[in-house]
Structure 1
Amino acid sequence: MTGSAAHGAPSRLPFDLPRLGIGTAPLGGLFQEVTDQDAAATLGAAARAGITYFDTAPRYGHGLAEERLGRLLPPAGIIEPVISAKTGWLLRPGPDGAPGDVVTDWTERGIRTSLESSLTRPRRSSVDVLYLHDADDHAEVVRRTACPAVRRLRDEGLVRAIGFGMNHSGPLASYVAEFDVDVALIAGRFSLLDHDALTTLLPLCVKTGTAVVVGGVLSTGLLAAPFPGAMFNYRPVPAEALARAQRCRALCAEFEVPLAAAAIQFPFLHPAVTSVVVGCRPATEVTANAAASRFPIPDELWHRLAAAGFVPPQLLG
Structure 2
Amino acid sequence: MEQTTRPFGRGGLTVGPIGYGSAALGNLFAARPDDVWPRIVPAAWQAGIRYFDTAPHYGLGLAEERLGAGLRDLPRDEYVLSTKVGRVLEPNPEYRPGETDIANLFDVPTTRRRRRDYSRDGVLRSVEDSLERLGVDRIDVLFVHDPDEFEREALEGAFPALDELRSQGVIRSYGAGMNQTGMLTRFVRETDLDIVMCANRYTLLDPSAERDLLPAAQERGVSVAVAAVFNSGILATERPRADATFEYGAASPELIARVDRIAEVAERHGVTVPQLAVQFPLRHPAVCTVVLGADTPEQIERNAGLATPAVPEAVWDELAAEGLLG
CA distance in 1, matches of 2:128, 2:255: 41
Do residues 223 (structure 1) and 242 (structure 2) align?
Answer: no
What is the aligned-residue RMSD (CA, Å)?
2.2
Where in structure 2 are there 5+ consecutive unaligned residues? 96-108
Do residues 185 (structure 1) and 215 (structure 2) align?
Answer: no
1:43-67 Cα distance to aligned partner (Å, 9 max, x none): 1211210112111000001111100
Do residues 262 (structure 1) and 260 (structure 2) align?
Answer: no
Partner of 2:263: 249
Change (3 A) 1:149 1:237: same
Q: 1:108 aligns with which of 107, 111, 120?
A: 120
The 8 Å contact of residues 66 and 121 in structure 1, kept in 2 or not, is answered as: yes
CA distance in 1, matches of 2:241, 2:127: 39
Change (3 A) 1:5 1:282: closer
Q: 2:30 aligns with which of 23, 29, 32?
A: 32
SS at match of 2:10: coil
Do residues 205 (structure 1) and 222 (structure 2) align?
Answer: no
Change (3 A) 1:53 1:5: closer
Q: 1:289 aligns with which of 289, 303, 309?
A: 303
Partner of 2:150: 138
1:139-178 Cα distance to aligned partner (Å, 9 max, x none): 2212221111111111222211000110001111011110
SS at match of 1:58: coil
Tell me how far 1:303 sits from its aligned partner. 0.7
CA distance in 2, matches of 1:147, 1:273: 22
SS at match of 2:306: helix
CA distance in 2, matches of 1:275, 1:269: 10
Partner of 2:85: 87
The 8 Å contact of residues 204 and 280 in structure 2, kept in 1 or not, is answered as: yes
Deviates more, 1:234-243 or 1:63-72: 234-243
SS at match of 1:71: helix
1:34-85 Cα distance to aligned partner (Å, 9 max, x none): 123211221121121011211100000111110001112235x565431111
CA distance in 2, matches of 1:289, 1:78: 23
Partner of 2:13: 15
SS at match of 1:124: coil
The 8 Å contact of residues 13 and 211 in structure 1, kept in 2 or not, is answered as: no
Change (3 A) 1:7 1:291: closer
Partner of 2:104: none
Amino acid at match of 1:278: L
Tell me how far 1:294 sits from its aligned partner. 1.1
Deviates more, 1:89-98 or 1:138-147: 89-98
May I ask how many residue pairs the two structures share in their alignment? 309
The 8 Å contact of residues 16 and 51 in structure 2, kept in 1 or not, is answered as: yes
1:278-308 Cα distance to aligned partner (Å, 9 max, x none): 1111111111111211133111001112223
Q: TM-score, normalised by structure 2?
A: 0.89
Partner of 2:44: 46
Where in structure 1 are there 5+ consecutive unaligned residues? 313-317
Change (3 A) 1:213 1:109: same
CA distance in 2, matches of 1:7, 1:190: 20
Amino acid at match of 1:236: A
Tell me how far 1:245 sits from its aligned partner. 1.7
Amino acid at match of 1:227: R
Tell me how far 1:7 sits from its aligned partner. 11
Partner of 1:166: 178
Amino acid at match of 1:167: N
Partner of 1:302: 316
